[in-house]
Amino acid sequence: MKRMRLGVVLTAFLLSATPLGAAAPTPKAPSNDDCLGCHEDPSAKRADGSSLFVDKKVFAGSVHGAAGASCVDCHTDLAKTTDFPHPEKLAKPDCSGCHAQQVEDYAKSWHAAARAKSPTSKAAWCADCHGSHDIKPSNDPTSRTNHFNLPATCMRCHGDPKVFPRAGGADGSEPMSFHDSIHGKALEKSGLKVAPNCATCHGYHEIRSPKRDPKSTVARPHVPATCGSCHSKILDEYATSIHGEQLAKGNESVPVCSDCHSAHAISAAPEVRRLAILKQCGSCHDSSLKSYRDTYHGQVSELGFAAVATCADCHTAHEIHPAGDVRSSVGPAKRLATCQKCHPGAGPKFAKYDPHANPHDRGRSGILWFTALFMKYLLIGVFAFFGIHTALWFPRSVKARREAGRRDGNGDAR
């Protein structure tokens, strides 16, 4: 891949050099030495005081320098200049001369669209990610676009809330949380080349906005396939689940990977996530969450302890099917085994317990409905009677105390 790209560069360079040599009458393009005549001086400055220094060694060490590219291969608007010093304002180098495919891909990206929309946009173009005179091939460990360095490169903008507003979030959608995610740790701490970096999910040049561009690899309908490009077994499970089937039918309200795992703060299901899942599932299955909250599981988890069953413990994370489906973990076939995961030795009657019982639903359980009704009237009856009893007794008791005080003549009722 890398070698091929270098080949393209060299070929393009040779092609562009040949006609220059042949056409004698046209003015000779300035050589690199001509340019460095001025730009080699570290103290040389533009009118606004900014440095125009180009480090000869750095350029020589870059992928372009090593390939023998000349300054005017990129700064094409100087190729015919004879009058030096040249005007300060130059056109941005157009990389498409050599890197046509990449620039074509980039043109479809949100970065390009944002730049096209606003001339002051800070959206990245080639040099923002690749560098300028110091571009290294991405197989170079020091390259900005090296597999292991890419997150730091993207984070220069996407970790800064001033440039990228969502960077200031704290819900796991903020890119910076990648560093502490299982992916980020695998990549940056463990140095796993199979670990994903930003581009694995978002693409390289053709990075589309997940919110604004339905073709984005991380737009809602495409998230499972993108994650599944590595987690293929999970994708198989998800795709055949009720959620996956619904998503395939175009129902985007079903959960996709990132709803439970978050976009960037992905971790190996820690305690927090086991509790957070309740809110997540409950955002659609609100009546199930409500009935769950009436049970011991629901009460303990509500107190903040994750040691009891939460949604996925019974319903599984990815292979969720309607309870009537034979594949369902809570269906008649698998229900007991599901209970036994936490309650070893539980019998068939144990599994008849309803973890989502609704005391107001007579059809679901008559005995529970009747008991709830009885308890309701017992409580109402007791408190109504003794409430009135006490309310009447209190003023009479105040009076009795006064009378007793008079009787004893010393203010003491005894």
Contacting positions for other proteins (CB under 8 A): 293-296, 298-300, 302-305, 307, 343, 345-347, 349-354, 357, 359, 365, 367-368, 371-372, 375-376, 378-379, 382-383, 386, 389-390, 392-398, 400-401, 404-405, 411-414
Tell me how far apart the alpha carbons of residues 5 and 138 are, in angstroms, rounded to a whole number.
Answer: 11
At residue 51, what are phi and psi to the nearest 5 degrees?
-75, 140
Find the shortest distance in angstroms from Cβ 190 to other proteins.
33
Whether 46 contacts 88, CB under 8 Å: yes
d(CA 3, CA 369): 74
For 158, how many CA atoms within 13 A lie in the half-sphere containing its CB? 20
Nearer to other proteins, 2 or 341 (CB): 341
In the complex with other proteins, which residue's Cβ is closer, 45 or 399? 399
Minimum gap (Å) between residue 170 Cβ and other proteins: 21
Minimum distance between the CB of residue 281 and other proteins, rounded to whole angstroms? 17
Q: Give the nearest distance from C-beta 348 to other proteins in angstroms.
A: 8
Distance from C-alpha of 342 to C-alpha of 350, rounded to nearest angstrom: 12
CA gap 233, 170 in Å, rounded: 30
Longest dimension (CA), the chain: 133
The dihedrals phi and psi of 85, each to the nearest 5 degrees, come to -65, 145
Q: Do 372 and 360 meet the contact criterion of CB atoms below 8 Å apart?
A: yes
How distant is the alpha carbon of residue 119 from its chain centre? Answer: 28
Question: Are 393 and 399 contacting, i.e. CB atoms less than 8 angstroms apart?
Answer: no
Task: Please state, in angstroms and rounded to a whole number, the distance separating the CA atoms of residues 221 and 232.
Answer: 16
How far apart are CB 148 and other proteins at their closest, in Å? Answer: 41
Tokens 């599944």 locate to 228
Q: What is the smallest separation between the CB atom of 319 and other proteins, expressed in angstroms?
A: 24
Would you say 84 or 350 has its CB closer to other proteins?
350
Taking the least distance from each CB to other proteins, the nearer of 11 and 299 is 299
β-strand partners of 51:
45
Nearer to other proteins, 304 or 324 (CB): 304
Beta strands in 34-94 (DSSP E): none
Which residue number, 36 or 336, has a Cβ lying nearer to other proteins? 336
Which residue number, 4 or 367, has a Cβ lying nearer to other proteins?
367
Taking the complex as a whole, the smallest distance from the CB of residue 237 to other proteins amounts, in Å, to 29
Task: Specify the amino acid at residue 381.
Answer: G
